[in-house]
């Protein structure tokens, strides 16, 4: 990161990709969106050439899912299946593809096995909550936020020991602590242990912690492609919202190698939707909107659980993880 195409984002929209009333996904449309997006990102004439510029038969590819909002909001299995099909088409063996997430209950609720070929690995890192076996004891970030006993966050062992490349597949979601959950948060909090400790009471340290984690090697170098699933989205109460009125349907997929550039656009998607719904901005830090009560902030879009830190995206740009300035982001919109 920021990869082969810094500051470049391809946004593919289709009204046909998902039915807003039933959430049924149109698979051929998703495949066409994937083809158009990857060819536009790379300039390749064919889908195979577009994917072949990133991956080959010798690669072991981790596909970082986002299932924290499952079963309602998650990396859509139809989007993930299209990614897997393209990896196999350029020669990556199914057994060298890993769909992975930290927690088994979230991962298993999506049933990715029904959508991808036999042999593809579907792996939960913590087979029991809090298990450290799946994490590398030698690769970690250590920081004391609130005087907690365990001050160390370790990177997933598959990242340090097995994967040669990683595809990041986040969703379009708001987040009570970070402002939004996009490419940066999914790849950072999703590849380290012991990260929820960064926010408690009204205070969150996500401003610097997200970028700090994403910057750690070999995670930074191995994450070569960002595919943001925006078929569905959550504009309030994320990541665990179960309230249907806070879901919406952007009906788009964003492609790039630069996580900061994509997340910068995501900020406007979420904030514009909140404004449309009469809700306070993700940038609003006034304590009058704060409540520690779960029922308050889950139900009311004008209540914050934490003082949000959407500035984590700009902070990540200071680590040279990507381009933040909208004037220097090369943004292409396509319609299928």
pLDDT in tens, 15-33: 999 999 999 999 999 999 9
Tell me the average pLDDT of the chain. 96
Closest CA to 262 of 299, 301, 305, 313: 313
Task: Render pLDDT for 31-48 as a digit per residue (tens, 0 to 9).
Answer: 999 999 999 999 999 999
Q: How many independent structural domains does the chain possess?
A: 1
- 172 pLDDT more than 80: yes
- Tell me whether residue 3 is in a domain: no
d(CA 20, CA 76): 14
Q: What is the pLDDT of residue 8?
A: 98
- 267 pLDDT more than 80: yes
- 150 pLDDT more than 80: yes
- Tell me whether residue 235 is in a domain: yes
- Report residue 228: phi and psi, to 5°: -85, 120
- Tell me whether residue 1 is in a domain: no
pTM metric for this prediction: 0.97
Q: What is the pLDDT of residue 238?
A: 84
- 65 pLDDT more than 90: yes
Pairing of strands 135-142, 121-124: unpaired
Q: Report the pLDDT averaged over residues 293-307.
A: 90
Q: Which domain holds residue 106?
A: 8-335
d(CA 262, CA 6): 10
Task: Render pLDDT for 213-242 as a digit per residue (tens, 0 to 9).
Answer: 999 999 999 999 999 999 999 999 887 888
- 294 pLDDT more than 90: no
Beta pairing partners, 331: 9
10 is written with which tokens? 């391809």
- Tell me whether residue 217 is in a domain: yes
Task: Render pLDDT for 68-94 as a digit per residue (tens, 0 to 9).
Answer: 988 889 999 999 999 999 999 999 999
Q: What is the pLDDT of residue 95?
A: 98
- Tell me whether residue 2 is in a domain: no
- 303 pLDDT more than 90: yes
Contacts of 277 (CB under 8 A, 6+ apart): 235, 236, 301
- Tell me whether residue 324 is in a domain: yes
- H helix or E strand, kind and range, residue 183: helix 183-189
């Amino acid at each position: 990161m920021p990869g082969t195409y810094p500051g470049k984002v391809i946004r593919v929209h289709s009204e046909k990709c998902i039915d807003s009333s039933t959430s049924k996904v149109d698979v051929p449309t998703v495949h066409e969106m994937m083809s158009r997006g990857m060819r536009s990102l790379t300039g390749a004439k064919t889908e195979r050439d577009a994917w072949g510029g990133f991956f080959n038969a010798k690669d072991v590819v981790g596909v970082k899912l986002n299932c924290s909002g499952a079963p309602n909001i998650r990396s859509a299995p139809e989007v993930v299946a299209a990614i897997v099909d393209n990896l196999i088409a350029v020669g990556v063996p199914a057994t060298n593809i890993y769909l992975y997430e930290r927690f088994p209950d979230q991962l298993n609720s999506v049933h990715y096995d029904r959508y991808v070929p036999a042999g593809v690995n579907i792996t939960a890192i913590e087979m029991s909550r809090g298990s450290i076996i799946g994490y590398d004891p030698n690769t970690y970030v250590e920081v004391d936020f609130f005087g907690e006993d365990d001050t160390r966050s370790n990177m997933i062992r598959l990242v340090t020991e097995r994967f040669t490349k990683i595809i990041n597949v986040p969703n379009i979601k708001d987040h009570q602590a970070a402002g939004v959950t996009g490419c940066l948060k999914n790849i950072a909090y999703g590849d380290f242990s012991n990260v929820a400790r960064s926010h408690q009471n009204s205070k969150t340290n996500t401003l610097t912690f997200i970028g700090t984690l994403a910057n750690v090697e070999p995670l930074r170098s191995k994450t070569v492609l960002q595919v943001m699933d925006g078929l569905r989205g959550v504009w309030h109460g994320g990541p665990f919202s179960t309230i249907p009125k806070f879901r919406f349907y952007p009906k788009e997929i964003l492609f790039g190698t630069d996580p900061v550039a994509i997340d910068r656009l995501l900020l406007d998607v979420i904030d514009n939707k909140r404004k449309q719904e009469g809700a306070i901005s993700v940038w609003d830090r006034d304590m009058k909107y704060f409540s520690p009560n779960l029922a308050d902030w889950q139900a009311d879009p004008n209540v914050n659980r934490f003082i949000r830190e959407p500035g984590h995206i700009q902070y990540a740009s200071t680590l040279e993880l990507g381009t933040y300035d909208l004037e220097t982001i090369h943004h292409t919109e396509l319609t299928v």
